[in-house]
Amino acid sequence: MKKSFVFTTVFLAGFGVATAQAGSLSGTIKLGVDAPKLPMVKVDKDPEVCGAADRPSEKLMLSKDKGVANAVITIKDVKGGKALDPSKKIEFVQQKCRFHPHVLIIPKGAVIDVVNNDPITHNIHTFPKENPPLNKAQPTTLKRITSPKFEVAETIKVQCDIHRGLMSAWFVVADSPYTVVSDASGNFKISDVPDGTYQVEIWHEALGKETKEVTIKGGDAKLDVSLLPKKG
């Protein structure tokens, strides 16, 4: 089957209360095959805000050396480390017909504010399996919507029904505070990790999921991963 590849923005985040005398994990996520030709997305509504020119999709963003943006890296089952902090203010912004960030980490138990900075109506529509759904129009008179609380860890697709195909994103509801998103170069760093051997999960919307084992013993451990396109 022919595979589609496309580009996006980036966000780096982690939520938790830090612990003392801990190590870290850093590395780079790259595409393990030749960089594909990326299809463009047609702007067919509100060009005065969204832009008149077609633009790259946000499903796969690559740096010049094939670094993968928006990969989610999670260290699983850390014992005695920092705790999740769901109290921090989190904003999910619609601007120039894009969701910012494209991949948003949400600590389990948190709520978020959905902000419309555009002079047109958008719609926030989530597709959860476990958490309460959100499907609400957001006109210019409603700049801010507060979501229901995210109580269950899962990955949730998000779209604007008005600008479907142009505006999509992902929420990652995390039950581990050791969860971050790779930056525009594919780089990431997870701090305040107690010594130990852990399973590290890497997820990307276009490249699927992979698990690696890593040992952290003082200082900064390294993990570089090459991801391949999902089959099928």
Could you tell me the CATH number of the domain that includes residue 190?
2.60.40.420
- For residue 125, name the pLDDT band (cuts at 50, 70, 90): very high
pLDDT at residue 219, rounded to an integer: 87
Q: How confident is the model at residue 34 (pLDDT cuts 50, 70, 90)?
A: very high
pLDDT attached to residue 9: 35
**Residue 5 within any structural domain of the chain:** no
What's the rounded mean pLDDT across residues 39-50?
A: 94
3-class DSSP state of 50: helix
Percent over 90 (pLDDT), the chain: 83
Number of structural domains the chain divides into: 1
Would the pLDDT of 38 be above 90?
no
Is residue 1 assigned to a domain?
no
Is residue 13 situated within a structural domain? no
The mean pLDDT of the chain is 91
Residue 212's φ and ψ, nearest 5 degrees, are -125, 155
Residues 202 and 185: their CA atoms lie apart, in Å, by 16
Per-residue pLDDT at 21: 55
Classify residue 3: in a domain, yes or no: no
pTM: 0.89
Residue 18 in any domain: the answer is no
Residues whose CB falls within 8 Å of the CB of residue 219, separated by 6 or more in sequence, listed in order: 23, 24
Does residue 15 lie within any of the structural domains?
no
137-178 pLDDT tens trace: 999 999 999 999 999 999 999 999 999 989 999 999 999 999
Percentage, residues of the chain above pLDDT 70: 91
CA–CA distance, 29 with 23 (Å, rounded to integer): 20
Residue 8 counted as domain residue:
no
Counting Cα atoms < 13 Å in the Cβ hemisphere of 144 gives 7
Domain span at residue 87?
23-227
Kindly state whether residue 203 falls inside one of the protein's structural domains. yes
- Which two three-digit tokens encode residue 29? 């996520």
Q: Identify the pLDDT of residue 36.
A: 87
Tens digits of residue pLDDT in 105-117: 999 999 999 999 9
